[in-house]
Amino acid sequence: MISVEQALEKILSYVSVLEAEETPILDSLGQVLAEDISSSINIPPLDNAAMDGYAVQARDTDGASRESPRFLHVIDTVIAGSISEQEVKPDTAIRIMTGAPVPKGADSVVQFEDTDETRRKKSPSKEIGILCKAKPGLNIRRVGEDIAKGSLVLKKGSVIRPAEVGVLASLGRSKVMAIRRPVVSILATGNELVDINQPLTAGKIYNSNTYSVAALVQRYGGIPKILGIALDSEASLITRLRQGSDADMLITSGGVSAGDYDMVKDVLAKEGEITFWTVRMKPGKPLAFGSIKGVNKTGVTRNIPHLGLPGNPVSSMVTFELFARPAILKMMGKKNLANPTVEAVLEEPIVNTDGRRVYTRAIVEKRGDNYFARLTGPQGSGILTSMSLANGLVVVPEDKAEIKAGEVAQVILLDWNEELSS
Ligand code: AMP
Ligand code: MG
């Protein structure tokens, strides 16, 4: 049996970064930028007011104070989006709104609070009293202070977050070159499975894995392609597998535990090859990985990585987080593939009976400076609600028989602390 690290290494060495494609900026959220973005414009395009106030010549405000205001003649008003035709000359001012271009001749903006604007509003006059001395440049946002024309703004390889979407929009870009999202075919296997839009009959269970796995694919940036349910027969499996052969990755669930495995193994051997089966972990031991023959959109044959997740609902989700997530991230061009982890103080002991690496579902909370973790309850790999209660997985190393209460353990965070529902 290989270790978690060996299994991950084999999977990651098999998958490669996908091509870039032109993508609408909003759709590119979470993808990796495949081009350097330089600016052909200045942002802001002109010097403009940072406050509502009066554009003046700073030297006209020399000696101004609340006790002895300097009165200037108001010659115009300029709002954001317009340009004043007037020039500020000695003893004059132009009323200006935030974002409006600073008129010719002015070198500072005195905010309303430092003028007698309120008095002026009550009895309109052509004069404004300036109540303090202004330094040149006061309340002026300089041309190009955010982005200078010709500068490199976003680097190829960076992840597009909401701020990058905003920066692209500020440059007037509607599309961007981004590494495309992988299409992941998802196939459930098992004679006992019924799909969620069908009535449940005796001895059957609903197919939940397809949906938890598809949700995970989507969460980590891929595009799920649902292939439905294959029966535990070679013919059914082969037919369904071929329907998903144009994807970038294939994920099956079930049919890999000791009893079933021969059938899936025979099919995989016929349709591709198996790299490994079984990993020294719990849950998730019967994980299989290999490749199957596929055809891409242009009809070219190639091998598609295939992850055969165990059927138990918790096992399929845990093995997805550990192996499919990093594979998807790598295909998307991301560099940081590791699961986010914290060190947490265990609030109850966890035993490890058979020398595998154990991942227990846990509730992680930050209290004061420390993280604390407690189990969600029964840890059976069929108890899917334990995943729903959990926001983390406590990792018990294979060579550790027990982690005692009060000891510190590594915990993989599945969600941020504040997203916990309880
Ligand atoms: P297997 O790995 O096929 O032996 O399945 C192990 C357990 O997981 C069995 O109890 C199955 O009924 C259950 N199981 C397998 N596939 C699914 C699925 N798609 N949805 C829910 N449970 C499943
Ligand atoms: Mg099965």
What are the DSSP calls for 280-347, one per residue?
Answer: SEES-TT-EEEEEEEE-TTS-EEEEEEEEE-SSHHHHHHHIIIIIHHHHHHHTT-S--SPPEEEEEES
Residue 259 pLDDT class (50, 70, 90 cuts): confident
Residue 49 pLDDT greater than 80, yes or no: yes
* More confident site: 421 or 266: 266
Ligand 2 centroid–CA 301 distance in Å is 29
Any ligand 1 atom below 6 A from CB of 284? no
Residue 38 pLDDT class (50, 70, 90 cuts): very high
- Cα–Cα nearest to 225, from 238, 198, 243: 243
Would you state the structure tokens that stand for residue 187, as one six-digit string?
A: 């196939």
Any ligand 1 atom below 6 A from CB of 326? no
Ligand 2 centroid–CA 390 distance in Å is 25
d(CA 124, CA 204): 81
Residue 172 pLDDT class (50, 70, 90 cuts): very high
Mean pLDDT value of segment 108-128: 89
Ligand 2 centroid–CA 223 distance in Å is 25
Ligand 1 centroid–CA 309 distance in Å is 10
Q: Which atom in ligand 1 lies closest to the alpha carbon of residue 229?
A: 19
* pLDDT at position 218: 98
Residue 262 pLDDT greater than 70, yes or no: no
d(CA 186, CA 307): 10
* pLDDT at position 154: 98
d(CA 223, CA 271): 23
Mean pLDDT value of segment 258-286: 85
Interhelix angle 234-243/261-271, nearest 10 degrees? 50
* More confident site: 334 or 273: 334
Which ligand has the minimum distance to the alpha carbon of residue 283? 1
Which ligand has the minimum distance to the alpha carbon of residue 232? 2
Could you give the 3-state DSSP secondary structure of residue 117? helix
C-alpha 357, offset from chain centre: 28
- The vertex-288 CA angle with 283 and 292, nearest 5°, equals 150
Within a 10 A sphere around the Cβ of 103, how many other Cβ atoms?
22
Q: Which atom in ligand 1 lies closest to the alpha carbon of residue 192?
A: 12
C-alpha 52, offset from chain centre: 37
Would you state the structure tokens that stand for residue 32, as one six-digit string?
A: 């990796």
Would you state the structure tokens that stand for residue 60, as one six-digit string?
A: 């006209």
Would you state the structure tokens that stand for residue 212, as one six-digit string?
A: 């938890």
Ligand 1 centroid–CA 203 distance in Å is 13
Any ligand 1 atom below 6 A from CB of 253? yes
Of the listed ranges 145-159, 216-230, 282-296, the least confidently predicted one is 282-296
* pLDDT at position 125: 79
| Cα torsion 396, 398, 402, 408: sign | negative
| Cα torsion 384, 322, 419, 207: sign | negative
Could you give the 3-state DSSP secondary structure of residue 345? strand
Any ligand 1 atom below 6 A from CB of 232? no
- Under 8 Å between Cβ of 150 and 39: yes
* pLDDT at position 324: 98
Mean pLDDT value of segment 186-202: 96
What is the end-to-end Cα distance of the chain in Å, rounded? 38
Ligand 1 centroid–CA 295 distance in Å is 28
- Under 8 Å between Cβ of 135 and 118: no
d(CA 261, CA 254): 9
Any ligand 1 atom below 6 A from CB of 308? no
* pLDDT at position 145: 97
* pLDDT at position 263: 74
Q: Whose CA is nearest to atom 17 of ligand 1?
A: 311
Ligand 1 centroid–CA 264 distance in Å is 14
Any ligand 1 atom below 6 A from CB of 209? yes
**How many distinct helices (H) and strands (E) make up the chain?**
9, 27
- Cα–Cα nearest to 292, from 283, 284, 301: 301
d(CA 73, CA 96): 14
Residue 260 pLDDT greater than 70, yes or no: no
Q: How many CA atoms lie within 13 A of 173 on its CB side?
A: 25
d(CA 387, CA 318): 9
Any ligand 1 atom below 6 A from CB of 331? no
Ligand 2 centroid–CA 254 distance in Å is 5
Any ligand 1 atom below 6 A from CB of 254? yes
Any ligand 1 atom below 6 A from CB of 287? no
Ligand 2 centroid–CA 232 distance in Å is 7
* pLDDT at position 144: 98
Any ligand 1 atom below 6 A from CB of 190? yes
| Helices within 137-252 (DSSP H only) | 162-170, 209-219, 234-243
- Cα–Cα nearest to 33, from 159, 150, 143, 169: 159
Per cent of the chain over pLDDT 90 is 88
Would you state the structure tokens that stand for residue 363, as one six-digit string?
A: 């509730």
Which ligand has the minimum distance to the alpha carbon of residue 192? 1
Which of 187, 205, 262, 277 best tests ligand 1's pocket when mutated (most atoms within 8 Å of CB)?
A: 205
Mean of pLDDT over the chain: 95
Per DSSP, the residues of 69-115 read PEEEEEEEEE-TT---S-B--TTEEEEE-TTPBPPBT--EEEEGGGB
Q: Which atom in ligand 1 lies closest to the alpha carbon of residue 208?
A: 20
Within a 10 A sphere around the Cβ of 215, how many other Cβ atoms?
13
Q: How many CA atoms lie within 13 A of 345 on its CB side?
A: 9
Residue 422 pLDDT greater than 70, yes or no: no
Mean pLDDT value of segment 185-212: 97
Residue 116 pLDDT greater than 90, yes or no: yes
Residue 348 pLDDT class (50, 70, 90 cuts): very high
- Under 8 Å between Cβ of 7 and 284: no
* pLDDT at position 296: 77
Residue 421 pLDDT greater than 60, yes or no: no
Residue 76 pLDDT greater than 80, yes or no: yes
Ligand 1 centroid–CA 254 distance in Å is 5
- Under 8 Å between Cβ of 395 and 410: yes
* pLDDT at position 179: 98
